[in-house]
Copies of this chain bind each other. A is one copy, B any other.
Amino acid sequence: MAVTIKDVAKKAGVAPSTVSRVIADSSRISLATKKRVRKTMKELGYHPNINARNLAVRSSQAIGVIMPSSADKALQNPFFPEVLRGIGAFAHETEYSLYVSTGESDNTTFEEVQRMVNGHRVDGVILLYSRNNDPIQQFLVEKNFPFVIVGKPCENESEITYVDNNNFKASKELTSHLIELGHQHIGFIGGSLELSVTTERLKGFQAAMKEYDLSLSNEYIIHTEFLKSGGSKAVEQLFALDKPPTGLVVTDDLMTLGVIHAIEEIGRRCPADVSLTSFNNLYLSEITNPPLTTVDINIFQLGFQSARCLIDLTKNKNEPAKRIIVPYEIKYRQSTKPLS
């Protein structure tokens, strides 16, 4: 059996409550006893039992991190470890722990969230995705359980605390860059329209095209699965058009990797035949061939800030809904070039 607060109390010749106060560094304990108690804690190798503490104070000093369900390979996106790093950094500072859920299906994910929340395992939850009609989100809202979203909420935006980039603006800027390089036929390749990232980036793309009076045919807009096959098909379709695109906006670096592959498979080259722009600035976007012009969305900060918001929220349930927009920066690299 581990050493408890009572053991320390006995050995130090004080009451358990005093030891407890020393742990909390209460100002109502004399420095002398504090020192004495701390010393015996060391001697005995005492460590507070978090479960007991949590039970007494009805909290858990832990936050839950919900990944999208991993039926597809989406989880292999380095985006996730990177946000996790950001979340972890803040959590560590504030001595919070991290629970993660990596459900296989939407159902298992939901179960895991319920376990976390109903069982009081966590004080709050961070959702690493944002999509339409998400039962998990509804569950949290109904329970009035603290949560924050990384990304833009699809509904009730003003009532939910979230951390996001200005994806609309970033996408518009990226598209404008292509246009200013002389490209006129530009395609958009994105993930599921259920996800708010996709729609935001699509809107930005469309806004730029409109601003420059370029035609906006739906044929140039493709929504595809993350997986390779999807990417190839998308590319084939695009380049079978009368006026195949000479520029592309792709919503994710990893997807872009697939797109490059598909493009070369049909005998075209990047950037010679087509300029590519992308999002995320994953580590790998520097070492692809060619290195990608991509939006650095500062994934780490997305995580860090979301953790900060969540912890604020758990400390004060009445904290008003916040929105934090993490700045982005476009990295111009060799995947884009002027239209020749």
Contacts and interface: CB of A to CB of B under 8 A. Distances in A.
Interface of A: 2, 47-52, 54-55, 60, 62, 67, 70, 73, 75-78, 80-82, 84-85, 87-89, 92, 95, 97-104, 108, 111-112, 115-116, 118-121, 228, 231, 254, 257-258, 260-261, 264, 282-284, 286-289, 291
Nearest to A300: B70
A284 B260 CA distance: 12
A216 to B, nearest CB: 29
Contacts of A120: 2, 49-51
Contacts of A101: 88, 98
Contacts of A231: 287
Contacts of A54: 51
A288 B257 contact: yes
A81 B92 contact: no
Given A82-B75, A85-B102, A52 B50 contact: no
Given A100-B98, A257-B287, A286-B228, A50 B119 contact: yes
Contact of A108 (B70, B92, B116, B119): B92
Contacts of A84: 75, 100, 102
A308 to B, nearest CB: 16
Given A51-B121, A85-B104, 5 more contacts: A75-B81, A75-B85, A95-B115, A97-B115, A254-B283
A143 to B, nearest CB: 10
Contacts of A283: 73, 76, 228, 254
Nearest to A262: B287
Contact of A92 (B88, B111, B289): B111
Contacts of A89: 102, 104
Q: Within the oligomer, what is the number of copies of this chain?
A: 2
A241 B332 CA distance: 34
Nearest to A264: B289
A144 to B, nearest CB: 12
B258 A287 contact: yes
Given A88-B103, A98-B101, A98-B102, A119 B47 contact: yes
Contacts of A87: 102
A115 to B, nearest CB: 7
Contacts of A60: 51
A289 B266 CA distance: 13
A332 B120 CA distance: 48
- Can you list the 5 inter-chain pairs with the closest CB atoms, starting with the nearest? A47-B118, A50-B119, A88-B102, A76-B78, A51-B54
B55 A52 contact: yes
A108 B92 CA distance: 8
A96 to B, nearest CB: 10
Nearest to A108: B92
Contacts of A49: 55, 119-120
A91 B48 CA distance: 26
Nearest to A121: B50
A48 B55 CA distance: 12
Nearest to A104: B89
A282 B258 CA distance: 13
